[in-house]
């Protein structure tokens, strides 16, 4: 049964040297399109928006066909009811922020009562912190402010789906976390699904429910973020340096004396530096493979707080001095060790090993509150010991 | 010294009226032509471009003659206009306006076309994704953004119309009060053995008018840019 | 290297410019330059051909309205002989000392005609009607600009003396020269026009409505003069030829009054 927020995409498009050929489906929430520059992400979003036409295929949002080459359906962009937040914000320079925000409202489908629209405006302006900016001209805004206005403008057009193309690309580092927080808020408070294009894995981990990896115009993999991140075969695309498993966890308690927080997941406890979250809050943790060590025997008298027992599921056969090992500790975890150690310890698939993660290795950038409220509520997270 | 003679007043008023009407009449067609040339590719595009630019490269007297052949009382369009609407533009200020408009048209189209090409198509795309139909995008996004170009085109066309001579005198001749615009009045004075001093006065007036137009356009242009560029 | 070919192009263009700017006198054989009123063009070209064949001298005629020609000479144009369509500009040239003293002669005469397009059946007899405008039927009367074009000045004088000027003057189409006036009438843009009688010769698209009475306008005289310091033997030969019977016959055939008749 198609949900009102589902996505069904199967398109082919040839643009110069790029051959785009993408198929995937998703059930809503925030879907990330992830890939290097030139992998076709923006082209794909333009096809979704209707700014470009596929050579063949089908695009369905919430069961509605926006494009169908077989049935000769091709709805023009202005009728697709999709909000598009561009990388370069594209605010109209000759209108104030207020004018920009209201631009799409004129064509938004009428709500039942006139009041609802008015409420939307105030709500969204508040949500994005735009109240003081309303009378400003776009040229006088910072990159971060522009993007917030761009998001607000897209939302006020009452879209059934929000497209965001690398919205943080033109925002300086200091402002990025501010905007990411806004987007998280959006994702949680609004019911509409979001398609989010990025080449930054941290954004994916923080924001996305599902991710689609694009490489050279093809969708190489799609699925839940945790699943994709734990697949060793995708590492070249997800970035070797940053590779690591993503774990869904819940805040169990805080240790005030030592300034630590205990996170529970899959029957284990993960100690991290004190987080500013309430008990019971759910979150995602990325544990970089380079921060995970292995031992055959349970280490004793060690400074490391996080020790998990697990079974080796897979071992890579890369060139170079380092290998990665997928271990099941109740949830997948990836460790990176030297080939020499691999040989010396004679590790084989199926062996029981102990993994160690330094508490200090988990930093703010590794955390996210991935997934919509509904989805997180569905996950059963068991607190540890 | 600063009082204007009746001849001068008449010539100035006529020039302003002829140039004003010429520019206003050119504007919609000019915007349309500039839009077609800037945004579309089609078979015969270079031919259209050539025709638009003809008045720039062909001697004005030739254009005037072509206008006479077409719009004169016995010309195809002239006769149709007379039979259908009882309108005759030959030997009238309306004909002078047509002559001025034709000569100024390429300047206007060039300026506006340049402006169109400078509009970020991405902004138009953004407007469409917000639900605006194409014509609304044109009215609310494209037009305001090409306003500086339109202004430039209008000023250029106005200045060119004020100075139009060859096509005018050939098409509608030199009728005082009807087609004797500033340049034609100037010409008449220079043809008379003792008309030089009167001609100089007219020269000053013509230059002053042109300067006023240029300064006004600069000021307006700056105000518009400020509003858009912060 | 792109630079080298650009520089080469640049120098080639400079060379071409120099070549074009070299005074023609250096390259071409010396020629006699005649500035003549536009109405004389057909006749003069025929006369020039005869002269060139006879004497081997080269003649280059330049035709324009008399006022333009005179002004160009006043500004130093290299003409050898000027033939104006009226006296006042010649007077001016004499006043400004541009003319070889004693060289001014009466060259040709002409008459004035009221004309209409060939298809028109307009008729007019002097003295029977007081208003020419009735014949116009909403159209205009084409003539050289009565302010400065010679044929227009004569026309205005004639209309004034016949008492027709006030009525017709708001309905004029003043042309910058005699040729343009002719064009208006031949094309049927104006139902009436005033031109030199000589312009009727050989023009099938024109029809004479009436010839202006000679008494109504000052005699139309084409004065001829040699420009100061241009009186070479070739020029003298040409001026003599123009006044010879053979040349005068040519001009008669084109509708002009020979100088003998006007003196």
What b/e sequence results for C45-77 when a residue is b if at least 16 CB atoms lie within 10 Å of its CB, and e otherwise? Answer: eebbeebeeeeebebebebbbbbbbbbbbeeeb
Q: Is A382 exposed, middle or buried (0-12, 13-18, 19+ CB in 10 A)?
A: exposed
Q: In this structure, what is the dihedral angle of CA atoms C83, C88, C91, C96, given to the nearest 10 degrees?
A: -100
Judge contact between C158 and C244, C-beta under 8 A: no
- Residues A218-236, mean pLDDT to the nearest whole number: 82
Tell me which residue range forms the domain holding A336.
244-369
Longest dimension (CA), chain A: 73
Residues 6+ apart with CB under 8 A from A306: A269, A270, A271, A356, A357, A358, A359
Of B123, B128, B227, the CB nearest to A92: B123
Query: Could you count the other beta carbons within 10 Å of the beta carbon of residue B218?
Result: 12
Radius of gyration of chain A (CA): 23
- Residues C102-123, mean pLDDT to the nearest whole number: 90
pLDDT for residue C2: 67
Residue A382 domain flag: no
- The domain that contains A22 carries what CATH number? 3.40.50.300
Most trustworthy range by pLDDT among A156-160, A247-251, B63-67: B63-67
Min mean pLDDT across A53-62, A126-135, A278-287, C211-220 is at A278-287
> What residues pair up with A7 in beta bridges, in sequence order?
A26, A61
Judge contact between A262 and A270, C-beta under 8 A: yes
For the stretch C163-173, pLDDT in tens is 899 999 999 99
Cα(C172)–Cα(C192) distance, integer angstroms: 10
For the stretch C193-252, pLDDT in tens is 999 999 888 888 899 999 999 999 998 999 999 998 888 888 999 999 999 999 999 999
Residue A2 domain flag: no
How close B132 comes to chain A (CA, Å)? Answer: 6
Residue A158 domain flag: yes
Cα(A42)–Cα(A37) distance, integer angstroms: 9
pLDDT band at C39 (very low <50, low <70, confident <90, very high): confident
Cα(C189)–Cα(B111) distance, integer angstroms: 36
Number of Cα atoms under 13 Å in the Cβ half of residue B47: 3
Of B73, B173, B190, the CB nearest to C174: B173
pLDDT for residue A4: 57
Q: What are phi and psi of A82, to 5 degrees?
A: -115, 140
- Residues B136-157, mean pLDDT to the nearest whole number: 91
Residues 6+ apart with CB under 8 A from A123: none
- Residues B204-208, mean pLDDT to the nearest whole number: 88
pLDDT band at A186 (very low <50, low <70, confident <90, very high): confident
Contact B187 C176 (CB under 8 A): yes
pLDDT for residue A380: 37
Contact B91 C140 (CB under 8 A): yes
Structure tokens at A117: 């629209």
Cα(A362)–Cα(C63) distance, integer angstroms: 97
A214 in the same domain as A255 = no
Backbone torsion region of residue C138, taken as left when φ is above 0, otherwise alpha when ψ lies between -120 and 50, otherwise beta: left
pLDDT band at A367 (very low <50, low <70, confident <90, very high): low
Q: B96 or B173: whose pLDDT is higher?
A: B96
Q: Which residue of B has its CA nearest to C72?
A: B191
pLDDT for residue A97: 95
A159 in the same domain as A54 = yes
Contact B228 A94 (CB under 8 A): yes
Judge contact between C96 and C249, C-beta under 8 A: no
pLDDT for residue C262: 44
Residues 6+ apart with CB under 8 A from A138: A89, A91, A92, A93, A95, A96, A97, A100, A146, A149, B230
Residue A239 domain flag: no
For an interface test with C, the pick among B91, B181, B186 (most C C-beta atoms closer than 10 Å) comes out as B91
Q: What is the mean pLDDT of chain A?
A: 83
For the stretch B23-38, pLDDT in tens is 999 999 999 999 999 9
pLDDT for residue A1: 41
pLDDT for residue B67: 93
A103 in the same domain as A52 = yes
pLDDT at B176 over 70: yes
A221 in the same domain as A123 = yes
For the stretch A156-171, pLDDT in tens is 988 888 999 998 887 7
- The domain that contains A360 carries what CATH number? 2.40.50.100
Query: Could you count the other beta carbons within 10 Å of the beta carbon of residue C34?
Result: 25
pLDDT band at A360 (very low <50, low <70, confident <90, very high): low
Nearest CA to B125 out of A27, A232, C214, A46 is that of: A46
pLDDT for residue A370: 53
A222 in the same domain as A267 = no
Query: In a 3-state reduction of DSSP, which class is residue A123?
Result: helix
C-alpha dist (Å) from residue A347 to A337, B115, B153, C62: 11, 69, 78, 108
Residue A383 domain flag: no
Residue A378 domain flag: no
Whether residue A181 lies within 8 A of chain B, CB to CB, comes out as: no
- Residues B9-17, mean pLDDT to the nearest whole number: 91
- Which residue in this structure is represented by tokens 């077409």? B70
pLDDT for residue A3: 56
How close B228 comes to chain A (CA, Å)? Answer: 5
Structure tokens at C234: 């070739």
Residues 6+ apart with CB under 8 A from B51: none
Residues 6+ apart with CB under 8 A from C199: C39, C113, C115, C178, C182, C206, C255
Last residue of a domain, one of A229, A260, A281: A229
Q: A229 or A31: whose pLDDT is higher?
A: A31
Last residue of a domain, one of A203, A229, A255: A229
A177 in the same domain as A261 = no
ipTM comes to: 0.77
- Residues A193-201, mean pLDDT to the nearest whole number: 89
Structure tokens at A234: 């995708």
Residue A192 domain flag: yes
C-alpha dist (Å) from residue A88 to A201, B140, B182, C32: 20, 20, 51, 73
pLDDT at A112 over 80: no
pLDDT at C263 over 50: no
How close C247 comes to chain B (CA, Å)? Answer: 31
Residue A375 domain flag: no
Helical segments of chain C, H only: 2-21, 24-27, 41-55, 66-74, 87-95, 150-161, 165-168, 178-186, 233-242, 245-253, 259-262
A263 in the same domain as A213 = no
Residues 6+ apart with CB under 8 A from A203: A32, A168, A180, A196
A173 in the same domain as A115 = yes
For the stretch C44-70, pLDDT in tens is 999 999 999 998 888 999 988 888 888
Give the strand pairing for A18-26 and A82-85: unpaired
Query: In a 3-state reduction of DSSP, which class is residue C201?
Result: coil
Q: Which residue of C has its CA nearest to B185?
A: C147
pLDDT at A209 over 80: yes
- Residues A105-121, mean pLDDT to the nearest whole number: 66
> What residues pair up with B184 in beta bridges, in sequence order?
none
Most trustworthy range by pLDDT among A380-384, B141-145, C123-127: B141-145
- Residues A46-60, mean pLDDT to the nearest whole number: 92
pLDDT for residue A132: 92
Residues 6+ apart with CB under 8 A from A298: A307, A309, A354
With a pLDDT cut of 90, the percent of chain B lying above it is: 53
Contact B174 C174 (CB under 8 A): yes
pLDDT at A89 over 80: yes
A124 in the same domain as A47 = yes
Structure tokens at A283: 């979150």
Contact A77 B128 (CB under 8 A): yes
- Residues B139-156, mean pLDDT to the nearest whole number: 90
123-152 of B, contacting A, C-beta below 8 A: 123, 125-134, 140-141, 144-145
pLDDT at A128 over 60: yes
pLDDT band at A376 (very low <50, low <70, confident <90, very high): very low
Judge contact between A270 and A286, C-beta under 8 A: no
Nearest CA to A89 out of A98, A99, A78, A100 is that of: A100
A224 in the same domain as A264 = no
Residues 6+ apart with CB under 8 A from A147: A85, A89, A167, A168, A170, A171, A179
Q: What is the mean pLDDT of chain B?
A: 89
Min mean pLDDT across A115-119, B41-45, B149-153, C9-13 is at A115-119
3-state secondary structure chain B: CCCCCHHHHHHHHHHHHHHHHHHHHHHHHHHHHHHHHHHCCCCCHHHHHHHHHHHHHCCHHHHHHHHHHHHCCCCHHHHHHHHHHCCCCCCCHHHHHHHHHHHHHHHHHHHHHHHHHHCCHHHHHHHHHCCCCHHHHHHHHHHHHHHHHHHHHHHHHHHHHHCCCHHHHHHHCCCCCCCCCHHHHHHHHHHCCCCHHHHHHHHHHHHHHHHHHHHHHHHHHHHHHHHHHC
Query: Could you count the other beta carbons within 10 Å of the beta carbon of residue B194?
Result: 8
Whether residue B76 lies within 8 A of chain C, CB to CB, comes out as: no
- Which residue in this structure is represented by tokens 């959006």? A186
Cα(A101)–Cα(C31) distance, integer angstroms: 79
pLDDT at B59 over 90: yes
A295 in the same domain as A215 = no
Most trustworthy range by pLDDT among A318-327, C8-17, C247-256: C247-256
**Alpha-carbon torsion (A298, A299, A301, A307), positive or negative:** negative
Domain count, chain A: 2
Q: What pTM, to 2 d.p., does this model score?
A: 0.73
Residues 6+ apart with CB under 8 A from B60: B103, B164, B165, B166, B167, B170
**Count of residues making up chain B:** 230
A255 in the same domain as A161 = no
pLDDT for residue B18: 95
With a pLDDT cut of 90, the percent of chain C lying above it is: 43
Query: Could you count the other beta carbons within 10 Å of the beta carbon of residue B197?
Result: 8
Min mean pLDDT across A53-57, A183-187, B76-80, B112-116 is at A183-187
- Residues A269-285, mean pLDDT to the nearest whole number: 84
Q: What angle, rounded to 10 degrees, do the helices at A114-127 and A173-189 form?
A: 150
For the stretch C13-26, pLDDT in tens is 888 888 777 665 55
Cα(A54)–Cα(A77) distance, integer angstroms: 13
- Residues A188-207, mean pLDDT to the nearest whole number: 85
């Amino acid at each position: 049964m198609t949900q009102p927020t589902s996505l069904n995409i199967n398109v082919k498009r040839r643009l110069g040297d790029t051959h785009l050929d993408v198929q995937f489906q998703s059930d809503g929430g925030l879907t990330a399109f992830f890939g290097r520059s030139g992998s076709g992400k923006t082209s794909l979003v333009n096809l979704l928006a209707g700014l470009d036409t596929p050579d063949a295929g089908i695009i369905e949002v919430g069961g509605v066909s926006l494009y169908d080459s077989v049935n000769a359906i091709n709805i023009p962009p202005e009728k697709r009811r999709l909000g598009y937040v561009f990388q370069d914000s594209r605010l109209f320079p000759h209108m104030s922020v207020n004018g920009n925000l209201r631009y799409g409202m004129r064509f938004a489908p009428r709500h039942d009562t006139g009041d609802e629209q008015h409420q939307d405006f105030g709500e969204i302006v508040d949500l994005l912190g735009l109240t003081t900016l309303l009378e400003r001209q776009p040229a006088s805004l910072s990159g971060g402010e522009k993007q917030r206005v761009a998001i607000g403008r897209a939302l006020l057009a009452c879209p059934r789906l929000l497209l965001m193309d690398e919205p943080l690309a033109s925002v300086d580092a200091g402002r990025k976390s501010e905007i990411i927080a806004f987007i998280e808020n959006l994702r949680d408070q609004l019911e509409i699904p979001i398609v989010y294009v990025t080449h930054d894995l941290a954004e994916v981990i923080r924001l996305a429910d599902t991710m689609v990896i694009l490489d050279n115009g093809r969708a190489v993999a799609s699925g839940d973020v945790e699943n994709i991140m734990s697949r060793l075969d995708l590492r070249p695309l997800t970035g070797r340096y940053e590779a690591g498993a993503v774990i869904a966890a819940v805040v169990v308690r805080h240790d005030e004396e030592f300034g630590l927080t205990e996170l529970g997941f899959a029957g284990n406890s993960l100690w991290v530096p004190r987080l500013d979250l309430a008990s019971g809050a759910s979150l995602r943790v990325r544990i970089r493979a380079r921060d995970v060590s292995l031992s055959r025997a349970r280490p004793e008298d060690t400074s490391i707080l996080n020790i998990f027992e697990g079974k080796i599921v897979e071992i890579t056969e890369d060139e170079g001095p380092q290998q990665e090992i997928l271990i099941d500790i109740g949830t997948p975890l990836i460790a990176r060790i030297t080939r020499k150690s691999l040989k010396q310890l004679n590790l084989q698939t199926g062996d029981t090993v102990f993994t160690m993660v330094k508490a200090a290795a988990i930093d703010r950038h590794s955390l996210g509150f991935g997934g919509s409220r509904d989805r997180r509520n569905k996950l059963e997270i068991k607190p540890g010991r | 010294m600063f009082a204007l003679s009746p001849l001068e007043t008449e010539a100035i008023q006529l020039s302003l009226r002829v140039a004003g009407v010429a520019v206003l009449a050119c504007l919609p067609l000019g915007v349309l032509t500039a839009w077609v040339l800037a945004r579309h590719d089609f078979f015969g595009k270079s031919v259209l471009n050539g025709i638009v630019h003809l008045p720039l490269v062909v001697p004005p007297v030739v254009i005037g003659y072509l206008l006479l052949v077409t719009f004169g009382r016995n010309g195809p369009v002239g006769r149709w206009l007379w039979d259908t609407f009882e309108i005759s533009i030959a030997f009238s200020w309306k004909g002078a306006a047509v002559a001025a408009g034709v000569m100024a048209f390429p300047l206007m189209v060039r300026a506006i076309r340049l402006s169109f090409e400078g509009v970020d198509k991405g902004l138009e795309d953004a407007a469409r994704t917000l639900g605006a139909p194409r014509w609304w995008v044109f009215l609310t996004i494209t037009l305001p953004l090409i306003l500086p170009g339109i202004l430039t085109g209008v000023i250029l066309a106005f200045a060119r119309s004020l100075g139009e001579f060859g096509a005018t005198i050939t098409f509608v001749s030199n009728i005082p009060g009807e087609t004797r615009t500033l340049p034609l009045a100037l010409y008449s004075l220079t043809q008379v053995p003792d008309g030089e001093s009167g001609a100089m006065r007219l020269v000053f007036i013509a230059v002053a008018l042109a300067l006023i137009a240029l300064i006004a356009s600069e000021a307006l242009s700056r105000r518009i840019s400020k509003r858009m560029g912060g | 290297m792109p630079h080298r070919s650009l520089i080469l192009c640049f120098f080639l263009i400079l060379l071409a410019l120099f070549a074009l700017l070299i005074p023609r006198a250096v390259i071409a054989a010396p020629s006699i330059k005649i500035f003549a009123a536009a109405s004389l063009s057909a006749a003069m070209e025929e006369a020039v051909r005869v002269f060139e064949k006879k004497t081997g001298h080269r003649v280059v005629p330049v035709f324009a309205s008399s006022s333009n020609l005179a002004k160009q000479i006043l500004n130093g144009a290299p003409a050898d002989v000027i033939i104006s369509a009226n006296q006042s500009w010649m007077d001016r040239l004499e006043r400004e000392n541009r003319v070889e003293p004693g060289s001014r002669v009466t060259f040709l005469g002409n008459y004035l005609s009221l004309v209409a397009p060939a298809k028109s059946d307009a008729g007019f007899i002097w003295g029977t009607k007081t208003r020419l405008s009735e014949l116009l039927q909403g159209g205009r009367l084409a003539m050289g600009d009565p302010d400065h074009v010679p044929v227009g000045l004569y026309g205005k004088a004639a209309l004034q003396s016949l008492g027709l000027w006030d009525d017709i003057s708001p309905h004029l189409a003043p042309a910058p020269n005699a040729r343009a006036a002719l064009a208006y009438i031949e094309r049927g843009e104006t139902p009436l026009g005033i031109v030199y009688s000589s312009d009727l010769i050989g023009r099938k698209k024109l029809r004479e409505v009436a010839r202006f009475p000679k008494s109504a306008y000052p005699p139309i005289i084409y004065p001829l003069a040699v420009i100061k310091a241009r009186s070479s033997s070739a020029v003298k030969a040409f001026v003599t030829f123009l006044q010879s019977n053979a040349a005068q016959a040519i001009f008669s055939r084109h509708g002009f009054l020979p100088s003998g008749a006007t003196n």
